[in-house]
Amino acid sequence: MARKRNNDEENKSPSWLTTYGDMMSLLLIFFIFLFSFSNIDAQKFKAMVASLQASLGVLEGGRSMSSVPATGGDEGQDLEQRTNEPQDEFESLYEDMQRYIQQNNIAATVEMTENKMEILLRFKDNVLFESGKADIIPSALPVLNNIAGVLKTYKEQIGGVRIEGHTDNVPIHTVMFPSNWELSTARAVTVLRYFVERQHLPPEMLSAVGYGEYHPVATNDTIEGRAKNRRVDIVITRTWIPGEINSNTNP
């Protein structure tokens, strides 16, 4: 019987360990409330968490501080603001472009749309170029200058700017432009070179492509439809995908 009692006593945890566990639990609760009701520096809090994790690690099966959700406090609000910041600035880019279009009454000739990934500026028929030519019309230069200024302001939020040339299906046969491929490409490159050489936009941010008549937005069977297809599109893309930050932070 004496031997059995000795074995039972050896299997019991020391009494000080229970007291130590209670004390650590109280400290954990205290620091959680302290964090909830105060504005604490993020670096100091991380150091405090690391210290507590080292202490609580001796408690077998204990819950680490990193698994406890932090609630309240200005730090959480600041993190949310930083997470949404790129999206807000890209939205500001759209608003600045839209404001310029409205103030200068050019909405009838410059169409603007947006989605989660990009902003589209569509220059309608004969806004930038005369029929069959690839030289920018002087009256269009102020519009391009303003667009370039906005692109410079928000270049950190821009992943790329693609300039697209489009035509209708009416064939062209000139020495300079044997087909609509050459005409649409030349127009896109002309706008790109103007942005780089005159407005000093970073060339690595820009690209140009000519689609000829093969990406229509309307029928080519009517005069109105062909006029809509003769256009130059400037497509501005984001530097990031919405939701990418949150998805990358998940374990």
Beta strands in 28-101 (DSSP E): none
Cα atoms in the Cβ-side hemisphere of radius 13 Å centred on 178? 0
Which neighbouring-strand residues pair with 236? 119, 161
Domains and CATH numbers, the chain: 2-72 (no CATH), 84-238 (3.30.1330.60)
CB atoms within 10 A of CB 154: 17
Q: Which of 59, 61, 76, 70 is nearest to 24 (CA)?
A: 59
Task: Enter the tokens of residue 45.
Answer: 């809090």
Provide the pairing of β-strand 206-210 with 158-166.
parallel
In the numeric block, the tokens 């500026």 are attached to 121
Contact predicate 112/121, CB 8 Å: yes
Give the pTM.
0.64
Tens-level pLDDT at each residue, the chain (251 residues): 555 555 555 555 566 667 777 778 887 787 776 766 665 555 555 555 555 554 444 444 444 434 444 444 454 454 445 445 444 688 999 999 999 999 999 999 999 999 989 999 999 989 999 999 999 999 999 999 999 999 999 999 999 999 999 999 999 999 999 999 999 999 999 999 999 999 999 999 999 999 999 999 999 999 999 999 999 999 999 987 655 544 444 44
